[in-house]
Amino acid sequence: MVHIYTGDGKGKTTAAVGISLRAAAAGRKVLFFQFLKSDTSGERKVLCGIDNITVINIGREIPFLFDADEKTKAQIRELYKEKLEMIFSISGLYSVFVFDEAVSAIDAGVIDTSDVMRFSDFGELILTGRGDISELEDKADYITNMTKLKHPFDRGAGAREGIEY
């Protein structure tokens, strides 16, 4: 089945991490890939040490895409295509695929919906991120919208290690 965790509230990645832990504990093999996040995201440190979970990253820092020019976006698009092809080549080894921030990457135009949806043929597919999900809605079995009611960012607070990243 296909899960989507979206919206402007906290908890999208946390929900995907929770499913990953539950699946790994049940003996399922999980592939966890993050788009648009640096290699320092806190959840990676823990996930890398858990049996049955493989964490793959892009191997470079990805800039904020709202600041990126078309040349940079094209380079990022190519990096993601290459990494997704590599993941596809080993997809038979996994039954759960988490593509964290994939919704945001689709919305930013650096991946296509079809780039990630093909993984649903191999098992559970979990997509997270903010952005337009209209292309994904009819393909999803679960859609959860995390709605922000209040957040410290609104009053200028920065991200805190171990809480927001």
Q: What is the tens place of the pLDDT at every residue in 103-135? A: 999 999 999 999 999 999 999 999 999 999 999
Please determine, for residue 63, whether its predicted confidence score (pLDDT) is greater than 70.
Answer: no
Please determine, for residue 60, whether its predicted confidence score (pLDDT) is greater than 70.
Answer: no
At residue 57 the predicted structure's pLDDT band, cuts being 50, 70 and 90, is confident
Q: What percent of the chain has pLDDT over 70?
A: 95
Distance CA 69, CA 154 (A): 27
Write down the domain spans for the chain.
2-59+67-149
Please give the average per-residue pLDDT across 148-157, as a whole number: 90
The amino acid sitting at 27 is G
Please determine, for residue 1, whether its predicted confidence score (pLDDT) is greater than 70.
Answer: yes
Structure tokens, 94: 């996994």
Check: CB of residue 47 under 8 Å from CB of residue 53: yes
**To the nearest whole number, what is the mean pLDDT of the chain?**
92
DSSP reduced 3-state for 97: strand
User: Which of these ranges, 6-10, 36-40, 113-117, has the smallest mean pLDDT?
Assistant: 36-40
Please determine, for residue 13, whether its predicted confidence score (pLDDT) is greater than 70.
Answer: yes
CATH superfamily of 2-59+67-149: P-loop containing nucleotide triphosphate hydrolases (3.40.50.300)
Residue of 151, 77, 84, 158 whose CA lies nearest to 119 = 84
pTM for this predicted structure: 0.91
Q: What is the pLDDT of residue 65?
A: 72
Please determine, for residue 29, whether its predicted confidence score (pLDDT) is greater than 70.
Answer: yes
Task: Count the Cβ atoms, other than its own, within 10 Å of residue 87.
Answer: 18
Please determine, for residue 90, whether its predicted confidence score (pLDDT) is greater than 90.
Answer: yes
Looking at per-residue confidence, does 55 or 60 come out higher?
55
